[in-house]
Amino acid sequence: EDSEKLKSSVEGKASNLADALVPWSLGGTALTYLLTRNATKALSILMVDFSCALKLAMPLAVLSAMREASQHHITVKGGKFLEAVAEAETIVFDKTGTLTTGKFEVTDVSPVQGSKEELLELAALGEYNSNHPIAQSVKQAYGKEADTSRIGQVEEISGHGIHAQVQVDGVWKELYIGNQKLMERQSVAVTTPAAVLGTTLYLAEGTTYLGSIVISDSVRPDVPAMLAGLKKQGVSKLVMLTGDKEEVGKKVAESIGITHVFGNLLPGDKVAKVEQLLKEKPEGRTLAFVGDGINDAPVLARADVGIAMGGIGSDAAVEAADVVIMDDEPSKIVDAICIARKTVGIVKQNIIFAIAVKIAVLILVALGYATMWAAVFGDVGVSVLAILNAIRALSYKK
């Protein structure tokens, strides 16, 4: 009985083995054909499945674009920022030093008591230790060497101005020099001059109003061309933020063609305004902020993409920004957008082309209409073409 079971088991296994080896019985030619055909198809599918085209062409396009941007004095700190620039639809500008030259000069001195020279002297002494462009313009207008022995303690009040101790005729006086918000904080009643294209610096001794000094700067020559270029590129919303009075900001904005203006803003107010604009922007689009000063650093960091002026910009602004315009020409923002959009277009072309060719070759291989050579083209050939297409990012023309 046991021998019968063993014989039956052996015969069953031999039958299964025979079934498995049926193709071998077809002869050498048939066997070679079947093995070669199946192996070639498998290798062809494996070859097409490689993603070399995407892995090589996409980073190469981004690196080419960053290199081309640097040739136009634009530093982009990463590929994701290049994509963010390409999607920019709202651009927010700081006024002073960005849209304007930041080269201030005193255009009006209006003392309430005493002479213009005395008011300028007090302002120059109070601003002596400041490197702010407005302070520099006041000292330049004063035109004399300041007597530093007459300068006591100086306190900077962020977003407002300064509090300085200055000696006048042997008597130390508490001076407050700054914007209208500083005067309101000190309960000083001021005489507001007519709206002018400039910044008004108010002076007070304690709670006594001494007068005002108007400092003006000029709009950068290439700003009108920049704004026209941005509108041509489809940037639908242009906004200007300034710490100056809103009336002054509106006059500057009207002269260059910006319709959205917000004035009397402290650094924290600018961040809050950008937060609001971020909520209002269309989904899938980005907001860019352009600034140059140390007070702009928080806003540059908060925006989808921060753009800083690298020449006159503070170290803090350049560090916080994602894109830096090294030669302080605002029109380069248009170049940055054009380079970014061209690069994004090239990347999309490569992705669509590579995937479409691979799918087509896979289908043809599976149906038996394509050989290994088609699979090689689907990988290596597509990679070469995608790389050549990516190199087009090096050929931007203004």
Please answer whether residues 246 and 262 qualify as being in contact, where contact means their C-beta atoms are separated by less than 8 angstroms: yes
Give catalytic status of residue 169 as yes or no.
no
Paired sense of beta strands 88-94 and 286-291, if any: parallel
Largest Cα span, the chain = 133
**Listing from the earlier edge strand, what are the strands of the sheet with 88-94?**
74-76, 323-325, 305-309, 286-291, 88-94, 237-241, 260-262
Please answer whether residues 291 and 305 qualify as being in contact, where contact means their C-beta atoms are separated by less than 8 angstroms: no
Distance CA 310, CA 321 (A): 10
Spot the catalytic one: 2, 19, 49, 94: 94
Looking up tokens 């015969």 gives 11
Looking up tokens 């198809």 gives 41
Catalytic residues: 94
